[in-house]
Amino acid sequence: MSEDSQACLIIIGDEVLSGRTQDLNLAYIGRRCDELGITLAEARIIEDDEDRIVACVNECRALYTYVFTTGGIGPTHDDITSASIAKAFSRKLIRHPDAVEAMDDYYDTGMLTEARLKMAEVPEGASLIDNPVSAAPGFQIENVYVLPGVPMIMQAMFEIISDTLQGGEPMLSESIASNLGESVMAQALAGLQQQYADVAIGSYPYFKKGKLGVNLVMRSRDAARLAELGRRLQSMIVDLGGEVVG
């Protein structure tokens, strides 16, 4: 674990836990955190349940530099994230005038219904995160960033906040695929991992187009070390009688 900024993603949604909806937000935020030099150390997927949201947010905001949440900020009865986060911070839930104004601009006259106005409710003292797609904002309160579940809108909001997040050097990664099995290279790989303790090497078997192989993924903030280890891994593969593929 590094000394850098560490983040946690909380995905709020029964539909993800039931297997009905495939979450796509973790992959996006994971990739962006790497680029921003922030370690996404954990993700939790929890039910749409007030007690669970309150407990999880309070635990994670004490543990991590940044907490991102996705899901549960729409207009319907099952959207309880904003109210739950207000409760986690012991704040009142208020209708934010700037959110109302942004939504009033966005909707045709008469279409800003009471249901939609629910999306203007945030914990008192929270800062809004603009929604360039459909007006209803996200918000930030201390180190917690509350984002929607719809990937396109979540991504647009994440880009807006990304400039304000304190990261380090970007995490770089390179991968090398080979036609060798994991077991064949395990010993040599462990030796190289010891020599390059500053580069994390992951080994991931795959089965693609009828062929077995292994993807070796190197992760480091140092491009030179990454390139050097890449050459060593390629030699290792050839020495073991395999070849680099893909």
Rounded to the nearest 5 degrees, what angle is found at the Cα of 2, between the Cα atoms of 228 and 169?
A: 60
CB of 155 to a second copy, least distance (A): 12
CB of 143 to a second copy, least distance (A): 19
Question: Looking only at residues 59 through 98 of this chain, which bind a second copy when binding is defined by CB under 8 A?
Answer: 74-79
The residue type of 69 is: T
Site string for a second copy, 113-152 (x = CB under 8 A): xxxx-x-------------------------------x--
Q: Which residues pair with 60 in a beta bridge?
A: none
Segment interacting with a second copy (CB under 8 A) among 88-96, 154-162, 179-187, 232-240: 179-187
Closest CB to a second copy among 43 and 128?
43
Give the position of tokens 């207009």.
75
The DSSP result for 139-203, as a single string, is EEETTEEEE-SSHHHHHHHHHHHHTTS---SPPEEEEEEESS-HHHHHHHHHHHHHHTTTSEEEE
108 to each of 31, 104, 213, how far by Cα in Å? 37, 8, 56
Closest CB to a second copy among 32 and 91?
32
- The whole-angstrom separation of Cα 184 and Cα 240 is 8
Site string for a second copy, 12-31 (x = CB under 8 A): --xxxxxxxxxx--xxxxxx
Positions in the binding site for a second copy (CB under 8 A): 1, 14-23, 26-31, 34, 40-49, 51-52, 74-79, 113-116, 118, 150, 171, 173, 175, 182-187, 189-190, 193, 200-205, 217, 219
